[in-house]
Structure 1
């Protein structure tokens, strides 16, 4: 009985203390109250507006259902709470430039826990300062002019082999599924030089992708748990490849110019660890194949719905093809001639960005346009904030590739990000899109089965039916 009385009194005192202390602002609360925070609604306790955000994301309605209503109500800068974190959403070219160019100074990358766990804590996505610069330097050296020159014929061979094995003698294929497998193969074979049969890993990588934005609950049966298990399978395979490559290079084998060789060479020199090699291979496979396959798929959708643009694009590729001998691979110089095709691809990515934006975390109090973003808060820049703004792109919802014939305002077109964290693999993505478009349009007649096919997100955008297309062989006149 005495013990019960003691417990009861303790609980009562605790409740009185909490009630009293909640009325007394802490130093942190006093400091925050003196700051002019952006307007906005923080939503429910802890969860904030996460449910609304995820609901809009799954329906591929982030701009229409989540961002635009709040921008109309609060302006281009507004506060919210997402996934447990107070977050300031910023929009506009000036905001993009300010936050992207101040990476490592005012903000640092801050992806959700599930993304970090699955992509790797030692990947370039999470690295800061000198570690980031070291890894980025290794990656970009592979995508220099000389690296791209050597990569083009390898990519041509991979694409032609894929079309021969998966398109020939078919009258209908899933464009999205086919390009996902192809871009996955290209990143393994042409970027890394990894000789693993792509089909053996493709499904495993897909299981990891399903969990990158899921709640980080590592309980059997959850998306995150399945993704973690798949990630472990991938890691075992990659560690074996890395150690075989290291043994060969330490035995006298020279670098072959591929990214895996460059990473292993840095590993041998003691500049990076084996974990960093693994995590960056995993990250780059995802970054280079999933978003690129979506961009390719949507490019064909835009062309199908805009026949005048397709006629101009086809003319460009027929001219390139006429100057090649039968069976001769494209060169980097050929790719540079695909100017209108790249305008089409950029306009497609403007209207259908492969990513909606990116999270950062304030590492100090930030003053921006009269507001304070407190240290520790998240910052989310969005592609939609400029891509759909008529100030940067007149008549923004119309498909007009020729708008990219003229210079675009800096930091207005940001499908690859910007600043120190500009996507390291964007040149590979560009090459992949242009070369694949060339071989498809010069070898096949094609049409969409479902011209108005809906686009969903889970967690990245994808065509709900896989974008099936009808195909038939064509020959260059």
Structure 2
């Protein structure tokens, strides 16, 4: 168990900051004790488990033998009324409301909106540039897509900065010392809450007595949540806290996109294979015609390129040569509870379909309009508290002559 209270907390944090939690912390103890071992982490007695059977046990027994919990700082900043803190019926109710916006009809409505956001972003942030910070650019775009396409809330210039201040304190010590990360994060959280309460109340006034019309128009998630509030299914606090949580969950999408482009730059054959897939999609489109939900379903190799880490994803028991970048490994059937980029069981990420569309559509427009190279091929990944690229992943971009020329080139080389 290590030292009382402290245990191996320092070793845990050190490995986490180096982005080597599995190699430097978990794997050495597995070598000694096997796939289950005990310690103290952050003041709590802790059991660490590894492998598909462990994943299945934990994820399938949520609300039965297992109850999820989060650090105090996370709860205070994400909100005690968010879905991550709810159990049983309340969790089921909130999940149903969120999921209603991500059914077939909702996804079909989202695709053209996301296409428009991506094209506008590339036209205003990439066009005319020879170098950009991919990580920063992706973060701005993902934030905009979640707010404007999914929630239907207009993005103001200062909003992203406020959310970033909250994120900095999510996994820190919940100590209210003036000037500390958590103190700054709490102040930013109050700003966000005040802004969202105003938006929610204005939306309620618009919808009062007119819920059917909103539903017929395929309303945004905010419309779904506010409709639930009007009907007495959820509270205003639950609406606000779940909007906050969904925005922060988009951080993982940002990191996944950045790593996808890094690995494609380092593996030209994978880039070429992916490009052929998008050439096939472009061949079926008229000039200026938008992507559809069916088009995204054809991006099978693109989805295999998704880069993830940790645990079973690094385990040679399930994946031959797991540390190599080999998207084709996912063409074969993967055993249950082995590949879990969005979690599993009742706690599977409610917005994973939005994240998937965000990634696929962004990749499509970038690979068909630009080539790129890495300025720092060996750029390290830092955890503080979540993963990010140490230099912001600066890339040099080379625009293709035009979309029509790109179409001809891709079709010729498909």
TM-score class, shorter-chain normalisation, is over 0.9
- CA distance, structure 1, for counterparts of residue 159 and residue 30 of structure 2: 42
The residue aligned with 1:286 is: 248
Q: Alignment partner for residue 174 of structure 2, among 205, 216, 229?
A: 216
Larger radius of gyration: 1
Measured after TM superposition, the shift of residue 140 of structure 1 is: 1.0
- CA distance, structure 2, for counterparts of residue 331 and residue 402 of structure 1: 25
Matched, 1:200 2:145: no
Measured after TM superposition, the shift of residue 300 of structure 1 is: 0.6
Measured after TM superposition, the shift of residue 211 of structure 1 is: 0.5
Measured after TM superposition, the shift of residue 47 of structure 1 is: 2.2
The residue aligned with 1:357 is: none
Measured after TM superposition, the shift of residue 251 of structure 1 is: 5.1
Contact 2:131–2:395 (CA under 8 A) maintained in structure 1: yes
Q: Superposed, which structure 2 residues align to 1:29-178 within 5 Å?
A: 42-178=1-137
- CA distance, structure 2, for counterparts of residue 216 and residue 69 of structure 1: 31
Matched, 1:424 2:385: no
Q: Alignment partner for residue 450 of structure 1, among 376, 390, 395?
A: 376
- CA distance, structure 1, for counterparts of residue 13 and residue 326 of structure 2: 30
Measured after TM superposition, the shift of residue 472 of structure 1 is: 1.9
- CA distance, structure 2, for counterparts of residue 337 and residue 311 of structure 1: 16
Contact 2:382–2:388 (CA under 8 A) maintained in structure 1: yes
Q: Alignment partner for residue 465 of structure 1, among 383, 391, 402?
A: 391
Measured after TM superposition, the shift of residue 96 of structure 1 is: 0.5
Point out where structure 1 has 5 or more consecutive residues left out of the alignment: 1-41, 354-383
- CA distance, structure 2, for counterparts of residue 271 and residue 462 of structure 1: 38
Q: Alignment partner for residue 412 of structure 1, among 314, 329, 338?
A: 338
Instruction: Give the CA RMSD over aligned residues.
Output: 1.1
State the Cα deviation string for residues 239-281 of structure 1 (Å, max 9, x = none).
0000000011015363242100000000001111100001000
- CA distance, structure 1, for counterparts of residue 253 and residue 359 of structure 2: 7
Q: Alignment partner for residue 272 of structure 2, among 306, 311, 325?
A: 311
SS at match of 2:388: strand
Measured after TM superposition, the shift of residue 399 of structure 1 is: 1.1
- CA distance, structure 1, for counterparts of residue 167 and residue 241 of structure 2: 14
Point out where structure 2 has 5 or more consecutive residues left out of the alignment: 410-414
Measured after TM superposition, the shift of residue 318 of structure 1 is: 1.8
TM-score by length of 2: 0.94
Q: Alignment partner for residue 185 of structure 2, among 222, 227, 235?
A: 227
State the Cα deviation string for residues 415-439 of structure 1 (Å, max 9, x = none).
2111000111111111111000000
Measured after TM superposition, the shift of residue 385 of structure 1 is: 2.3
SS at match of 1:81: strand
The residue aligned with 2:412 is: none
The residue aligned with 1:329 is: 290
Contact 2:144–2:155 (CA under 8 A) maintained in structure 1: no
- CA distance, structure 1, for counterparts of residue 139 and residue 195 of structure 2: 20
Q: Give structure 1 regions of 4+ aligned residues with deviation exceeding 4 angstroms.
A: none
Matched, 1:339 2:265: no
Matched, 1:433 2:359: yes
Matched, 1:273 2:231: no
- CA distance, structure 1, for counterparts of residue 312 and residue 155 of structure 2: 40
- CA distance, structure 1, for counterparts of residue 342 and residue 300 of structure 2: 19
SS at match of 2:22: helix
- CA distance, structure 2, for counterparts of residue 148 and residue 133 of structure 1: 21
Matched, 1:302 2:302: no
